Amino acid sequence: MARAIWSGSISFGLVSIPVKLHSAVRRKNVRFNQLDRASGQRVRQKRVAGDDGREVPYDDIVKGYELPSGEYVIVTDEEMAALDPEAVRTIDISEFVDLAEIDPIFYDSPYFLAPDATTAKPYRLLAEAMEQSQKVGIARFVMRTKQYLAAVRPQSGRLLLSTMVYADELVDPAEVDGFAYLDGVDVSKKELDMAVQLIESLSEDFTPEKHSDDYRTAVLELIERKAAGETEVVPAPVEAGSDTVVDLMAALEASVAEAKKARKRHPAATGKPTAKKQPAKKKAAAKRKSA
């Protein structure tokens, strides 16, 4: 079972419900170490002074904040510790808002909030009441000396917590090159209708399981082949993007026609059962056995 990374209670009004925080995702990035090509030994990083390259002992390293002038203000660990938020063990819900009011750009990391055996009923009551009212709780809590803004929302009788970024952490769209090109651009009603038709023809219910990280799978298969002794591993050539300017309406009409053909070819349209694909893990295991 997954271990809790934080424990405390949800607090709103005079109600307090003990909970434990569990990470709701496990990142599956493929991580590499840096090696010396000649010896195959792991390359270690050293902390060195910028001017003379002298290695600096860990105990002699201090925190410094760079000013616009290029100078540094040194801040001690004791000064930072004095500013740490009070390590309270509560997720304080200050208000409830409609889920649709929260732009997804504010969401950061997701967590499960699990109850303990003695408070399962009030936990379930809160989850069902929030689900019925379609509300999300906006809260603050402290974890590992940092104060977080968070959204507590219901999901099938459970409560999920998503940490959120603060408004002043969002990048102003005016700082992004390219958006200025949109000024003065007009689209015709015919183009808009065709684009909407294309969107509708490609619309489906969201099924998370059908989306997979093809790049990570390809990297792991490459590693597996090399570990099995294959030496001549040549990656497939990447097709260069086309700079050809296409007729927008023609492209939209062709896309709509292709989408309609694809729907007719789909097994669901004919009532035929869909063949299940073998999961990538089982394929990899089969390869290892044959190797």
The pLDDT confidence band at residue 96, using thresholds 50, 70 and 90, is very high
Predicted local confidence at residue 283, as pLDDT: 44
Element (H, E) at 48: none
Using the 8-state DSSP alphabet, how is residue 81 labeled?
H
| pTM exceeds cut of 0.85 | no
CB of 285 closer than 8 Å to CB of 224? no
Q: At what angle do helices 248-265 and 189-201 cross, to 10 degrees?
A: 20
| Residue type at position 69 | S
Predicted local confidence at residue 150, as pLDDT: 96
For the chain, the structural domain boundaries read 6-27+84-168, 211-232+279-291
Beta-carbon neighbour count of residue 132 at 10 Å? 9
- Termini Cα distance of the chain: 33
Residue 29 tokens read as 């990035």
Q: How far is CA 76 from the centre of its chain?
A: 33
Predicted confidence (pLDDT) at residue 94 exceeds the cutoff of 90: yes
Predicted local confidence at residue 282, as pLDDT: 44
The pLDDT confidence band at residue 117, using thresholds 50, 70 and 90, is confident
Q: What is the pLDDT of residues 51-60, one digit of tens each?
A: 888 999 999 9
Predicted confidence (pLDDT) at residue 240 exceeds the cutoff of 70: no
Class of domain 6-27+84-168: mainly beta
Predicted confidence (pLDDT) at residue 242 exceeds the cutoff of 70: no
Predicted local confidence at residue 123, as pLDDT: 93
CB of 142 closer than 8 Å to CB of 91? no
